[in-house]
């Protein structure tokens, strides 16, 4: 299960990179691929989360140390971000369709997605490379 979590997590990171790339440089015109890639990324992330939560506890009830500890702490950043990012994106898209100015959560879509992407990338790096 842990291996599946890692594979799906890497796939989600790749999807997030593609989604992030499609949004760059666009003012109010977003390519149609962006919401589709965002949905696929959310699905990949959800599968990875399922495997992470389904993993059995550590043998001997030990406490997470080192890189695994960082990985778990960063999950507290990217998990809420993966919930808020599509909500903020939907709100931003609806306001853009109506020609309204973005405010509130909709205006924070790019910031939330950037922080989420960085946290997910750091989370993957923390358990991929030994340092």
pLDDT tens digits for range 33-72: 999 999 999 999 999 999 988 887 665 555 666 788 888 8
Domain boundaries, the chain: 2-56+65-128
At a CB cut-off of 8 Å and minimum separation 6, what does 94 contact? 106
Dihedral sign, Cα of residue 98, residue 100, residue 102, residue 103 = negative
CA 76 – CA 118 distance, rounded (Å): 13
90-111: b or e for each residue (b if 16 or more CB lie within 10 Å)? ebbbebbeeeeebeeebebbbe
What pLDDT, in 10s, does the model give residues 66-100?
A: 788 888 899 999 999 999 999 999 999 899 889 89
Dihedral (CA of 61, 67, 70, 74) sign: negative
Residue written as token pair 């923390």: 126
């Amino acid at each position: 299960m842990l291996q599946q979590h890692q594979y799906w997590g890497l796939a989600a990171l790749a999807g997030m990179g593609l989604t992030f790339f499609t949004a760059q440089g666009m003012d109010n015109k977003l390519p149609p691929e962006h919401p589709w890639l965002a949905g696929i990324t959310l699905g990949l992330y959800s599968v990875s989360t399922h495997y992470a939560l389904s993993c059995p506890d550590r043998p001997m009830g030990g406490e997470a140390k080192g890189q695994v500890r960082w990985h778990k702490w960063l999950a507290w950043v990217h998990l809420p971000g993966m919930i808020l990012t599509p909500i903020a994106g939907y709100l931003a898209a609806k306001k853009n369709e109506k020609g309204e100015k973005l405010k509130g959560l909709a205006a924070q879509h790019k910031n939330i997605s950037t922080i989420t992407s960085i946290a997910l990338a750091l989370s993957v790096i923390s358990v991929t490379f030994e340092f």
